[in-house]
């Protein structure tokens, strides 16, 4: 099943590109990659310094465990509550941090960490390069531990020449993973960023800490754009039970997109990430109200899911127990596809990126994404998700 959709990507899209190659004047790739647990090798903790009030969350950072003794926190907590996030100095040990250390069963040492960085850098450098002949201008990152691992990533030889800037905030995610964005400074002028905290609750009414939505605004080759990076709550406990959490994420994303679109209709919006739902799921169809095709776009339905046609053709970005899913999606505002001005960016195409080196070639998982981990064994692979990208074009 996975092999089938890979062939579609490999053989159909290049023919489309070559037939349109003469029309492309100036292009930019915007994409994202789930880096599958990009942690450093040092066990860490989340630290809230308690300096702000309830209207403005306290400063939050990830710190090495051996630094905790210098902070004199008022309270340690395995389970955070909203009360603990404000007005107190609080430390919480990250549940994933201990797993990714040299002393863990994974034997997550410097050699493995450097290979993870090398692999991720290669994928990023290749995103959209068959069309742009260069690395992507804007790249979203999913499952990063902290800013340090992102800095190490952009310093990799495959990426360092592009002079990527970083946008990153620590989230309250229970595992300690965040979303982030990197951008080529020479083509994207950063103007503002913020994180929107997603508050979701379990069946017992207890808050479940997850990733924030990252909002970044700026000028892409002098055009106003806004990027929304997402990593929605997982399907832990089952799709139906967990769906309300993703519905809440969709509503929050729509609120953020609407606010920018209404304030400035000229700004071009791109929302992307791992939504843990397919394009036909209620969260994306009903709560975000994303259109399936250009003909469905309107003032009431201003956002287009570029992955819907791929989903209908059987293309997937991951698989679990032989069931393919297209969780990795890109959703845009209608001003990127309707009323095209040749002097402004519009969408040329969107793809799930699945070159041969990202595909498992043998065993029970043949055709699946070539992931980094098989249990505690490091495979040398890349990610359990195929990345996605969109190509924008305009006249020079």
229 and 142, same domain (yes or no): yes
In this structure, what are the phi and psi dihedrals at residue 171, rounded to the nearest 5 degrees? -100, 170
**Residue keyed to tokens 């990830």:** 62
47 Cβ partners below 8 Å, 6+ apart?
A: 60, 61, 62, 63, 68, 71, 73, 89, 90, 91
- Supply 17's token pair: 């590109």
Given a contact cutoff of 8 angstroms between Cβ atoms, the answer to whether 281 and 240 are in contact is no
Q: Can you tell me the distance from the alpha carbon of 386 to that of 382, in angstroms, rounded to the nearest whole number?
A: 9
User: What range defines the domain where residue 74 resides?
Assistant: 44-93
Residue 301 resides in a domain: yes
Query: Structural domain tally of the chain?
Result: 2
Residue 98 resides in a domain: no
Q: What is the mean pLDDT of residues 168-195?
A: 94
Q: What is the pLDDT of residue 274?
A: 98
Domain boundary among 93, 112, 130: 93
Residue 343 resides in a domain: yes
142 and 223, same domain (yes or no): yes
156 and 85, same domain (yes or no): no
DSSP state of 267: S
Q: What is the pLDDT of residue 13?
A: 37
Query: For residue 333, what is the domain's CATH number?
Result: 3.60.10.10
Length, in residues, of the chain: 396
65 and 208, same domain (yes or no): no
Higher pLDDT residue, 294 or 93?
294
Q: Can you tell me the distance from the alpha carbon of 87 to that of 232, in angstroms, rounded to the nearest whole number?
A: 28
Higher pLDDT residue, 57 or 376?
376
14 and 129, same domain (yes or no): yes
Residue 378 resides in a domain: yes
pLDDT tops 50 at residue 325: yes
pLDDT tops 80 at residue 88: no
331 and 378, same domain (yes or no): yes
Q: How many CA atoms lie within 13 A of 271 on its CB side?
A: 29
36 and 62, same domain (yes or no): no
Higher pLDDT residue, 96 or 158?
158
pLDDT tops 80 at residue 194: yes
> Tens digits of per-residue pLDDT, 203-247?
778 888 899 999 999 999 999 999 999 999 999 888 888 999 999
237 and 209, same domain (yes or no): yes
pLDDT tops 80 at residue 59: no
205 and 348, same domain (yes or no): yes
Alpha-carbon distances of 379 from 147, 382, 384, rounded to whole Å: 25, 9, 11
pLDDT tops 60 at residue 57: no
Residue 150 resides in a domain: yes
359 Cβ partners below 8 Å, 6+ apart?
A: 2, 6, 367, 368, 369, 370
Residue 262 resides in a domain: yes
19 and 110, same domain (yes or no): yes
Q: What is the pLDDT of residue 74?
A: 59
Question: 139: burial class by Cβ within 10 Å (0-12, 13-18, 19+)?
Answer: buried
Domain boundary among 93, 128, 158: 93
51 and 157, same domain (yes or no): no
238 and 285, same domain (yes or no): yes
The confidence band for 3, taking pLDDT boundaries of 50, 70 and 90, is very low
């Amino acid at each position: 099943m996975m092999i089938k959709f890979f062939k579609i990507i490999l053989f159909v899209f290049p023919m489309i590109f070559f037939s349109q190659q003469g029309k492309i004047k100036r292009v930019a790739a915007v994409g994202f990659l789930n880096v599958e647990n990009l942690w450093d090798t040092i066990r860490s903790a989340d630290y809230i310094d308690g300096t702000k009030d309830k209207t403005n969350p306290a400063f939050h950072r990830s710190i090495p465990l051996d630094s905790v003794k210098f902070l004199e926190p008022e309270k340690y907590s395995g389970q955070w509550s909203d009360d603990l996030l404000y007005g107190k100095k609080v430390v919480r040990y990250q549940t994933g941090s201990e797993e990714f250390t040299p002393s863990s069963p994974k034997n997550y040492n410097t050699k493995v960490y450097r290979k993870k960085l090398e692999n991720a850098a290669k994928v990023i450098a290749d995103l959209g390069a068959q069309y742009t002949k260069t690395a992507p201008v804007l790249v979203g990152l999913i499952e990063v531990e902290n800013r340090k691992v992102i800095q190490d990533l952009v310093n990799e030889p495959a990426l360092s020449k592009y002079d990527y800037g970083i946008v990153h905030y620590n989230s309250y995610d229970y595992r300690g993973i965040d979303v982030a964005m990197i951008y080529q400074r020479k083509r994207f002028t950063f103007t503002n960023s913020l994180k929107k905290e997603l508050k979701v609750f379990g069946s017992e009414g207890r808050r479940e800490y997850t990733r924030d939505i990252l909002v970044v605004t700026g000028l892409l080759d002098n055009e106003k754009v806004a990027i929304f990076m997402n990593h929605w709550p997982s399907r832990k406990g089952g799709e139906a039970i967990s769906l309300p959490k993703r519905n809440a994420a969709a509503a929050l994303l729509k609120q953020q997109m609407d606010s920018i679109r209404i304030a400035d209709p000229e700004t071009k919006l791109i929302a992307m990430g791992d939504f843990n739902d397919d394009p036909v799921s209620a969260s994306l169809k009903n709560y975000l109200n994303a259109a399936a095709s250009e003909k469905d776009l309107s003032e009431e339905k201003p956002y287009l899911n570029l992955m819907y046609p791929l989903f209908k053709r059987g293309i997937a970005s991951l698989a679990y127990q032989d069931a393919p899913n297209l969780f990795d999606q890109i959703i845009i505002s209608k001003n990127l596809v309707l009323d095209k001005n040749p002097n402004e960016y519009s969408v040329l195409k969107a793809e799930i990126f699945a070159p041969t080196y990202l595909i498992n070639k043998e065993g029970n998982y043949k055709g699946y994404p070539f992931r980094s981990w098989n249990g505690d064994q490091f495979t040398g692979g890349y990610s359990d998700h195929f990345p996605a990208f969109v190509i924008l074009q305009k006249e020079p």
